[in-house]
Amino acid sequence: MDEMTQLRELRADAPVPGRAALAPGRERLTTAIAGRNRRTRRLWADWRVASLSAAATITAAALIITQVVDTSSNPDTLANNLDLSGPTVTLNRAADFLEEKKAPPEPRADQWIYTVNVFAKPELASTENIADPGNGPDASWTPYADPEMEKDPADDAWSSRESYRAAESLPDDPAALLAEVRALYPAFDTERGREESSTARTFRGLSTLIESYPLSPAARARVYRALGTVPGVRITDNLVRDAAGRKAIAVTYEEPGSHERRELLLSPSDYSYAGTRHVVTEDHEMNEMGFVTRMTAGDITFNSARTAAAVVDARGEVPQP
């Protein structure tokens, strides 16, 4: 989906920036760009796991099945043999690392997924006074077995349990896994009537699974090995910074003609999901309702970071560090 389509869909419910002294048209445009933080997954992807951005810890009484990911500090220590020379090497080493980890039990149906996400202000060279995307970290709780999502098998929104089990059922062979992922995430048509390419759909589906929480180490390892074989997937030769200012591995893909690459961010210390960025790759103009915005190569139009994820026993429960 291109930026124009995203802006049109976002404009309906995007909040008016509180501190932008802009003309009405410019205000709507910049707010839409900033507002992508909370709806990008739904627009760019068939984001079936929009509510499963979480993970967690159980209370002390149920500590035996605690699974906690606290990525708020993301220390600069790196995983052994970290190599950014290419997607196959980097992602296979990540898979090797994960395959040595013991998988915690699957969460119970009555548990909740807790996540905290941070969204950075868009960095656009040619546009000033972009509104801040939010007022601090965004914490959320969703049922692991969300009845609203699971009641309709044809619905494109999945619960955390559905995503967890779908990932567990994926085959070991990378080619077979990619075929299964494409079946799970059908292509959609863009506004111009051009169907999403098979490769873009594959990257979208894999990214959605990687972002889902919880995901067993073995399932994540299989997905990483398959991701490393997708044509057009790259690894930046340096660590980037996510919306929380942490170092991250950037796994990238750019759909031809999109002028923008998608970056799936992974922690360099344990290869967990760290966030998502969208980066402009070439100068171009974006026209929305007669207002033209100059997009410059290097602009970051979307930047999110997951700073905590846990499985908890009740809505509102916050795991202790």
Residue 317 inside a domain? The answer is no
φ and ψ of 41, to 5 deg:
-60, -35
Token digits of residue 308: 């905590």
φ and ψ of 160, to 5 deg:
-60, -40
Give yes or no for residue 4 having a pLDDT over 50: no
Residue 321 inside a domain? The answer is no
Q: State the pLDDT confidence band at 55, using cuts at 50, 70 and 90.
A: very low
Domain of 154 in residue numbering reads as 3-312
Give yes or no for residue 246 having a pLDDT over 60: yes
Residue 123 inside a domain? The answer is yes
Give yes or no for residue 233 having a pLDDT over 50: yes
Instruction: State the DSSP code for 123.
Output: B
Domain count, the chain: 1
Residue 9 inside a domain? The answer is yes
Residue 94 inside a domain? The answer is yes
Closest CA to 118 of 102, 132, 97: 132
pLDDT in tens, 154-209: 676 899 999 999 999 999 999 999 999 999 988 775 544 457 889 999 999 999 99
Residue 255 inside a domain? The answer is yes
- Give residues with Cβ within 8 angstroms of 198, minimum separation 6: 182, 187
Give yes or no for residue 240 having a pLDDT over 90: yes
Q: State the pLDDT confidence band at 291, using cuts at 50, 70 and 90.
A: confident
What's the whole-number average pLDDT of the chain?
78
